[in-house]
Amino acid sequence: MKINAENLSFRELNEKIRSSKSRKIEIENMLGQRYTGSGCVGKDIHISGIPGNALGAYLTESDITVYGNAQDAVGDAMNDGTITIHGNVGDAAGYGMRDGKILVKGSAGYRAGIHMKEYMEKKPLMVIGGKTGDFLAEYQAGGKIIVLGIGYEKQCPVGDFCATGMHGGVMYIRSEHEPDHPAQVLCEDATKDDIKAIKADVELFAKKFDYDANELLDAHFFKLTPNTNSPYRRLYVNN
């Protein structure tokens, strides 16, 4: 099914998506419509244009591909599925995401991965190809974030206050430059076993966006995890 979004409000567009009996939906001429694909179940949505805030919020058993940029709160509290962005994303990508994958070819704004969480087998993944703004992984409670820093090899690809409040999950940053992070978070050189742990994730990213996975992996990575003595954990988690 094809939808021309040029003259549609966000409500009209979302109603067309939800009411469609087709799994695959192609949307053309998007320009800022909000909540696209929010709460969708069992859809494969392809978007040409720029979707507005909260793309794929509460997404379930669905995939969304954007052939361009996206705005804030991509994948807000998404349940599963995959969101693939062939450009950049705005602030708070993956806010509170519970499971699924967000793959961004370009860069992300502030607070990517904020409140990302996991439960049992549900472990969300976010891979960002370029750089990020400040407060990456703020209050991260679970899941995995990988920042590849493609095109930013001469600088740290993440902004200030990285992992502030982080009390779960793990983050990998491809860089020779150690990120700014609080004392309550451990920042270590990634080991060979760590690289093996992210190999499949980087290969997925590389396949989506036509990169050489081996070349990306053959570089230095930092691994960030909560300090086992972290007061952040004592603040947020009952022992």
* For the chain, percent of residues with pLDDT exceeding 90: 91
Average pLDDT, the chain: 94
Looking at residue 101, the DSSP 8-state letter turns out to be: E
CA 82, distance to chain mean position in Å, is 10
Task: Give me the mean pLDDT over the 176-184 stretch.
Answer: 92
Task: Give me the mean pLDDT over the 139-166 stretch.
Answer: 96
CATH code of residue 79: 2.160.20.60
Say how far apart CA 76 and CA 34 lie, in whole Å.
Answer: 12
Say how far apart CA 237 and CA 167 lie, in whole Å.
Answer: 8
At residue 188, the 3 state secondary structure works out as: strand
At residue 163, the 3 state secondary structure works out as: coil
How many distinct structural domains can be found in the chain? 1
Angle (nearest 5°) at CA 95 between 225 and 127 = 60
Question: What is the residue range of 19's domain?
Answer: 2-236
Task: Give me the mean pLDDT over the 142-156 stretch.
Answer: 97
Nearest to 128 by CA among 154, 166, 102, 152: 102
Model confidence pLDDT, tens digit, residues 191-216: 999 999 999 999 999 999 999 999 99
**Distance between terminal CA atoms of the chain?**
51
Model confidence pLDDT, tens digit, residues 95-145: 999 999 999 999 999 999 999 999 999 999 999 999 999 999 999 999 999
Count of CB atoms situated within 10 Å of the CB of 154:
10
Task: Give me the mean pLDDT over the 143-168 stretch.
Answer: 96
**pTM for the full model?**
0.94
What pLDDT does residue 183 have?
87
